[in-house]
Amino acid sequence: MFDDDEKKTKVRVLKKITPTRLKNIALYYLKRFETTSAGLRQVLRKRINDYAYQNKEFDLSEAYGWADEIISDFERYGYVNDERFAEMKIRDYAAAGKSMRYIRGKLREKGVSEEVISRLSEAQAYDEEEAALKLARKKRIGRFRNEGQRAEYRQKDMAALARAGFSYDIAQKICADDEF
């Protein structure tokens, strides 16, 4: 029914990686997403590695050097700013009811330095109980669950809050029937 040639998938030939092309890739990515220097480095290295996989004679170390130069230029221009990224993420995650432990972990994953994370998390006004209440209201757990089901689901609700990064004391307060 099908020829053997039709069954084969065609390999997409990638365009040659040059400093200009890498810069365009980075600009296009930054146009769509706010990121850290480590995140942009990861994106550029993936593109470099994909091209190098198809073209074995390609010099990876030279291309990595181009990427590092582009990232340092973009940091100097203000296109990439880890502090701005961290401030935005802290604000967004706090508004979504995420715990500070969760926020710190996500920022570490994105490559934000520990010094920047601790300085910004101390500077931001953040109330752990308020964040836990937001999460509980959103997921309808703890005191936001129907009264008839609260006792039955108390352990599951506390576990959900613990997985979200909140302390045991805060989870207890949220799952308690009385208002605090």
Start-end of H helices in 55-142: 60-77, 82-95, 100-109, 114-123, 128-139
pLDDT given for residue 169 in this prediction: 92
Query: Is 75 in contact with 41 (CB distance < 8 Å)?
Result: no
- Phi and psi at residue 9, in whole multiples of 5°? -90, 145
pLDDT given for residue 39 in this prediction: 96
Query: Is 96 in contact with 137 (CB distance < 8 Å)?
Result: no
Mind listing the pLDDT tens digit for each residue in 90-138? 989 888 888 889 999 999 999 999 999 888 888 777 788 888 999 999 9
Domain ranges within the chain, ordered by starting residue: 19-77, 82-123, 128-175
> Could you write out the three-class secondary structure of 139-171?
HCCHHHCCHHHHHHHHHHHHHHHHHCCCCHHHH
Residues of the chain below pLDDT 50: 180
Q: What does the block give as tokens for 89?
A: 């993420």
Closest CA to 100 of 168, 175, 36, 164: 164
pLDDT given for residue 106 in this prediction: 94
* The pTM of the whole model exceeds 0.85: no
Query: Residues of 86-101 as b/e, b for ≥16 C-beta within 10 angstroms?
Result: beebbeebbeebbbbe
pLDDT given for residue 31 in this prediction: 96
Q: How far apart are CA 168 and CA 134, in angstroms?
A: 17
